[in-house]
Amino acid sequence: MLRTLDIVLIVVMTAAATVTYTIKHQAENKLDQVRKLDAAIKLEEDTIDLLRADWALLTQPNRLERLVGAFGADLQLAPTPSTQLVRPQELPMLKADVPPTEEEKKLAAAKAAEQTTDNIATGSVAH
């Protein structure tokens, strides 16, 4: 005869087996997702390596020199003269360093006039 304890233990064992199977199934699904992501990452890395190799081939100096020779007349390419290179000291000043124009001075004075107070002390906030 089955006792009540035996039935309870059978139910607990069945529940534990069900939970274990569910957890195993979820872990397998996650592992499949990880494998898919790893494959996608590997594909992207291979694509990046291929593009870098392609860039290295396209920017070889001897290839560019041949292209300049072939299309130089059509593009009217010319070497950059050394007089076009500028030192940092020769660059124009920053916009913040430019002195204001007369119109800007008038606008600033008008704004300052609007913001003047009547100098009445109310005692609530220190000015």
Report whether pLDDT(41) > 80: yes
pLDDT in tens, 87-98: 777 778 787 777
pLDDT score for 123? 63
Q: If you average pLDDT over residues 54-71, what whole number do you get?
A: 91
Q: And the tokens for 104?
A: 């800007």
Give the 3-state secondary structure of residue 11. helix
Element housing 23 (H / E): helix 4-58
pLDDT score for 48? 97
pLDDT in tens, 63-111: 988 988 888 888 887 777 877 777 777 778 787 777 788 888 888 888 8
The Cα–Cα gap between 106 and 112 comes to 10
Q: If you average pLDDT over residues 106-124, what whole number do you get?
A: 72
pTM, whole model, 2 decimals?
0.47
Reduce the secondary structure of 26-83 to three states and give it as a string. Answer: HHHHHHHHHHHHHHHHHHHHHHHHHHHHHHHHHCCHHHHHHHHHHHHHHHCCCCCCHH
- Least Cα distance to 44 among 36, 102, 123, 33 occurs for 36
